[in-house]
Amino acid sequence: MDFSRDEIGDVLARELYLSAGLDCGLAHGAPSVAAAVLGEACLRFMPHDDLPGRSLILHDGARWVIHVRDTLNDRQLNHAVAHELGEWFLRRRGYAEPDVEALSNCVAAAICVPRPAFKTALRELGQDVSALSQRFLVSESMMSLRIAEYLGTPTALITEKVVLTRGEARAWPTTRQGWAGLVCRARTGKSKLTLRRLRDAPERMVLRDSKK
């Protein structure tokens, strides 16, 4: 069976949860999932300058250890651990670059926000990005993309470096100039897209198909 990019994240995260004996209907958080999969001592906190990035998973003797910066806040830690665990699981399943990099964020999001638990939260909170982010201890960036994956709403997260798209296929721009024009039209109401700045990262914007 062929799965879309968005669906693969859910499928693999569910497999990971089941292999660890965890209930997908609950938001355990990535550190707890990692402990269930890799062992209780799978996290090692490191001084900020000792790691090239926020996190890194390394083989340590007979086990895998996720090294994380000791300066991360709870949301950053949740995402960093999920990302490393997702990459580890993808490679165990036989994926290689560039697929690992392309899929790791989708798997990480599904680890932090498992679909059954997310379905319950949506019924309780609606599409309130801030409230959902607090519930699952993730950034509003991740939550905006997760909502798009679940509902299929064409969505674009615009950051300073990249643009990430989720949801059903749409004719998104392919150039920086094209994105700038689309944002301008959304701002002035000349587009069927809605534009929202994120509270926890005001420099980031989310474009969303208002028809959905």
| Residue among 148, 128, 134 at smallest CA distance from 10 | 148
pTM of this structure: 0.90
Is residue 211 scored above 80 in pLDDT?
no
Instruction: Give a three-class secondary structure readout of 115-129.
Output: HHHHHHHHHHHCCCH
| Band of residue 201 on the pLDDT scale cut at 50, 70, 90 | very high
Task: Determine contact, residues 144/206, Cβ cutoff 8 Å.
Answer: yes
How does pLDDT run across 70-112, given as a tens digit for each residue?
999 999 999 999 999 999 999 999 998 888 888 888 899 999 9
Residue 102: the pLDDT is 80
Q: What is the C-alpha separation between 115 and 113, in angstroms, rounded?
A: 6
* pLDDT one-digit tens code per residue, 26-57: 989 999 999 999 999 999 999 999 999 999 99
* Three-class DSSP labels, the chain: CCCCHHHHHHHHHHHHHHHCCCCCCCCCCHHHHHHHHHCCCCEEEECHHHCCCCEEEEEECCEEEEEEECCCCHHHHHHHHHHHHHHHHHHHCCCCCCHHHHHHHHHHHHHHCCHHHHHHHHHHHCCCHHHHHHHHCCCHHHHHHHHHHHHCCCEEEECCCCEEEECCCCCCCCCHHHHHHHHHHHHCCCCCEEEEEECCEEEEEEEEECCC
pLDDT at 3 over 70: no
pLDDT value at residue 190: 87
102-150: pLDDT as tens digits = 888 889 999 999 999 999 999 999 999 999 999 999 999 999 999 999 9
Question: So what's the pLDDT on residue 210?
Answer: 76
Report the pLDDT value the prediction gives residue 4, as an integer from 0 to 100. 72
CA separation for the pair 82, 112 (Å, rounded): 7
pLDDT of residue 97: 84
Residues 6-28 pLDDT 10s: 788 899 999 999 989 999 999 89
